[in-house]
Structure 1
Amino acid sequence: MHLSWKKTFAIFFGGQVFSILTSFMVQFSIVWHLTVTTGSAAVLMIAGLCGFLPQALLGPFSGVWLDRWNRKMTMIVADSTIALFSLILGACYLLGEPGLGIIYAILAIRSAASSFHAPAFQAAIPLIAPENQLTRVAGWHQTILSFSSVIGPAIGIAAYSASSLGTVLLLDVAGALIANLMLVFVKIRQPKPQVVQAPSFAAEFRQGWEEFFAVKPIVTVTIATAIFGIAFMPLATLFPLMTLSHFGRGGYSASLVEAAFGIGMILGGAMLSVLATKWKDTAFMSVSLTVIGMTCVLSGIIPGSVFAGFVVLSFVMGAAAPLYNGPFMAMIQKSFEPEKLGRVISLVTSFTLLSSPIGLATAGPIVDKYGVQSWFLGSGVVIVLTGMLLLLKFQRK
């Protein structure tokens, strides 16, 4: 049994690696292409909203269907839909330059399909892996995500520079096809339906919220995650500005900071896989928030002459991130029955996605008035306090 689930999971997850990697390639390549061809911040903002808002808004509703449908087939259909529209957009670029309206529409459709694929993937994991291995599996997942976030953009920009955006999009189609082909050979048991009578969408939708609020530890951690997202998500766009305005460095130095953060994430995910059974999930999350918050605080007070120190802090910050994301998802997977998991994961995903625009809208005026270091310092204090409160709450229990 021990070897059996590992073999099944290797095939299941091995195929998804191709899809994850090519998705990162496409994501970065489209942003880069729009940057080069338009040079418009407004265009990039609209493209970003099209890329995540449909997933955030559909999440609370898509979970109901996820718990009704076969999760394996849901993943195949969702990934095939993403691949189809990547193919359409790729063909548009190979034939000529499509209008921005077409790009926005296809990004929104891809995001809508992701609102089914990502939760179905996470909800399928407990149907394959034993419960006592879910945190370790989350570590593997975080390692692959981190690796793809570093390697994907590099491969994507290389393919884009050597050929065109159309070629990169066709590679995304190939990644989805490989993922779906490997899924065909995986047997994933379908959880028993929760209701015998004819299902009511409204009743199941309401039940999903009730199930979520009934598990108080998950509600607490989700609130902490939303606070963390509001404070931390803007830093993704502020790292280059920090490098330029505070340290007076150029593009090479900015890429060095991004690489240090990404390599840290890879090692953090690997560390979680090794230490998965040593601590409780909430202990990992509390330590992660405390370390991330402290690195933000130090980044906010570091002198402009110590750029090497900022690179090291970025590495440590990246290494701590998987210690939160992985255990959080494992905690959810352990807390709910498989037939309810799709709704809960979709709800939580929507909450976390919607925290990003709130953080960005808040950070903009503060950074403009007080400087980029002010957000690093302030967000660091908020994150440290959140981590400490989380630790105290669960220690008391």
Structure 2
Amino acid sequence: MWKNKNVWILLIGEFIAGLGLWLGIIGNLEFMQEKVPSDFVKSLILAAGLLAGIAVGPWAGKVTDQMNKKTVMLVSGAVRTVSVVFMLIAIETGSVWWMVVFLVFLQISAAFYFPALQAAIPLVVEENNLLQLNGVHMNVSTLSRVLGTAVAGILLVIMPLSMLYVMSLAAYAGLFVITCFLKINEPITLQNHPNKASAASTSFKDIFPIIKGLPIVLMTLVLTLVPLLFIGGFNLMVINISEIQDSSVIKSWIYATEGIGFMLGAFLVKQISLRSSPYTILFLFSFVIGFSQLLLYFANVPILTVLAFLVFGFAVGCFFPTAATIFQTRVPKEFHGRFFSFKNMLDRVTFQVVLLMTGFLLDTVGLQHMAIIFGALSLFMTASFYLRFKQLRTNVEVTNKVS
């Protein structure tokens, strides 16, 4: 796998893009802290971009299945690069509306880029290397996040906010250039597929019978809602914790610690998978995620706050590579674009709902009571899904014995 040039291009590209992304995210938080006093209004601003991504999702999925994955990644990368210009205008004018425009274009480009990337990964390596590559790819993403947030925190002290976005723009431009060198073999295309009724020329809605017919995929898809309940309001919680502890430094500690935990989880998940089934991994770490949310009841204690995010990072580091591998191996490749676009839309809807809930609850009941609500909900959802999974497995075993 490590001799594959495409693997290195994807990993280097992810690292460069991640640096640009997190420089921009820290810049967004800083800009909103200066211009927007309400947590709920902050959540509405962030939700505007997510809504745009959801709106173009079905089209993005169909286009990804119809076109070369590299082409989709290049075009969406170009749009993402240009979108940064709108944020530079927002800083120059002090207008939050220009920031909304920036977020809309950024999320539209992401709606095309990430399904194409997820569909490209199984075309780059053999199936037995997928879990390892997914783990390494997510580790590279997390490393870029740790470095990006640390560098952004330093740069905010020594240079204007606009320079963060100039560097972000340069990173996105670098990703575009390196993607040009990617070579993906796609043996099944719209033109030569033997059965066009099941190929990409059909409707986006054709993905739903596929998901329904694959119980393992459906269950994994539903279970991914648990970590999203934490991640959706992640940035707002970080801002609120910073205010509770009256510390700007805690933001960097949280992002760095959560990132380190994620990298450890993604590094060790391959070894864990040798001893445990994918569903054991998913359910176990889904429970751990709920526990980490409950720990945030002690958000006024720095060491327990850092511990909560360390535990959460490790849990999702094991959870997400396992889920991604299940999706990439069980869903037919000719439907990957539409499936990952649908998953992207589901994630964005969940993000949007959680984002609005987080903003509302932070303004009304506060972070510590919200942590109890979200933690209890995560544990209840995980327990319910686990009982449902056991019931499905028992039914399958009974059916097999009868037949």
User: Common fold, TM-score beyond 0.5?
Assistant: yes
- Residues 371 and 45 of structure 1, relative CA distance in 2, 3 Å threshold: closer
State the 1:274 CA deviation: 4.8
Partner of 1:68: 66
**Which moves more between the two structures, 252-261 or 334-343?**
252-261
List gaps (5 residues or longer) in structure 1: none
**Separation of aligned partners in 1, 2:285 and 2:235:** 17
Residue 281 of structure 1 contacts residue 327 of structure 1 at CA under 8 Å; is this kept in 2?
yes
Partner of 1:152: 148
Residue 2 of structure 2 contacts residue 8 of structure 2 at CA under 8 Å; is this kept in 1?
no
State the 1:254 CA deviation: 5.2
Q: How does 1:123-272 map to 2 (within 5 A)?
A: 123-192=119-188, 193=190, 194=193, 203-230=202-229, 233-234=232-233, 236-241=235-240, 245=244, 250-253=247-250, 255-272=252-269
1:342 to 334, 337, 342: 337
- For 2:182, what is the secondary structure of its paired residue? coil
- Residues 321 and 236 of structure 1, relative CA distance in 2, 3 Å threshold: farther
**Which moves more between the two structures, 322-331 or 208-217?**
208-217
Residue 191 of structure 1 contacts residue 338 of structure 1 at CA under 8 Å; is this kept in 2?
no
Q: How does 1:80-91 map to 2 (within 5 A)?
A: 80-87=78-85, 89-90=87-88
Residue 42 of structure 2 contacts residue 359 of structure 2 at CA under 8 Å; is this kept in 1?
no
Partner of 2:286: 289
Partner of 1:321: 316
1:330 partnered with 2:325:
yes
**Separation of aligned partners in 1, 2:186 and 2:250:** 49
- Residues 153 and 373 of structure 1, relative CA distance in 2, 3 Å threshold: same
Residue 229 of structure 2 contacts residue 378 of structure 2 at CA under 8 Å; is this kept in 1?
no
**Separation of aligned partners in 2, 1:114 and 1:303:** 32
1:50 to 7, 29, 48: 48
Residue 285 of structure 1 contacts residue 328 of structure 1 at CA under 8 Å; is this kept in 2?
yes
**Separation of aligned partners in 2, 1:310 and 1:124:** 37
- Residues 167 and 276 of structure 1, relative CA distance in 2, 3 Å threshold: farther
List gaps (5 residues or longer) in structure 2: 394-403
**Separation of aligned partners in 2, 1:303 and 1:116:** 37
**Which moves more between the two structures, 271-280 or 257-266?**
271-280
**Separation of aligned partners in 2, 1:175 and 1:365:** 34
- For 1:190, what is the secondary structure of its paired residue? coil
State the 1:119 CA deviation: 1.0
State the 1:175 CA deviation: 1.8
Residue 29 of structure 1 contacts residue 157 of structure 1 at CA under 8 Å; is this kept in 2?
no
Residue identity over aligned pairs, in percent, reads 19
- Residues 272 and 162 of structure 1, relative CA distance in 2, 3 Å threshold: same
TM-score (norm 1): 0.85
Cα deviation digits, residues 64-108 of structure 1 (max 9, x gap)? 111001001110111011112324644x479x4364333322321
**Which moves more between the two structures, 193-202 or 311-320?**
193-202
- Residues 110 and 234 of structure 1, relative CA distance in 2, 3 Å threshold: closer
- For 2:203, what is the secondary structure of its paired residue? helix
**Between Structure 1 and Structure 2, how many residues are aligned?**
389
State the 1:17 CA deviation: 1.6
- Residues 34 and 358 of structure 1, relative CA distance in 2, 3 Å threshold: closer
What code does the residue aligned with 1:163 have? M
Cα deviation digits, residues 200-257 of structure 1 (max 9, x gap)? 9894212122222222222222222235534663355235545755xx5544445434
**Separation of aligned partners in 2, 1:181 and 1:303:** 42
Q: How does 1:350-365 map to 2 (within 5 A)?
A: 350-363=345-358
Residue 199 of structure 2 contacts residue 335 of structure 2 at CA under 8 Å; is this kept in 1?
no
**Separation of aligned partners in 1, 2:98 and 2:316:** 35
**Which moves more between the two structures, 253-262 or 317-326?**
253-262
Cα deviation digits, residues 173-209 of structure 1 (max 9, x gap)? 3222322322222210124135766999894212122
What code does the residue aligned with 1:139 have? G
- Residues 359 and 180 of structure 1, relative CA distance in 2, 3 Å threshold: closer
**Separation of aligned partners in 2, 1:66 and 1:331:** 20
1:280 partnered with 2:308:
no
**Separation of aligned partners in 1, 2:198 and 2:217:** 26
1:376 to 367, 371, 378: 371
- Residues 227 and 313 of structure 1, relative CA distance in 2, 3 Å threshold: closer
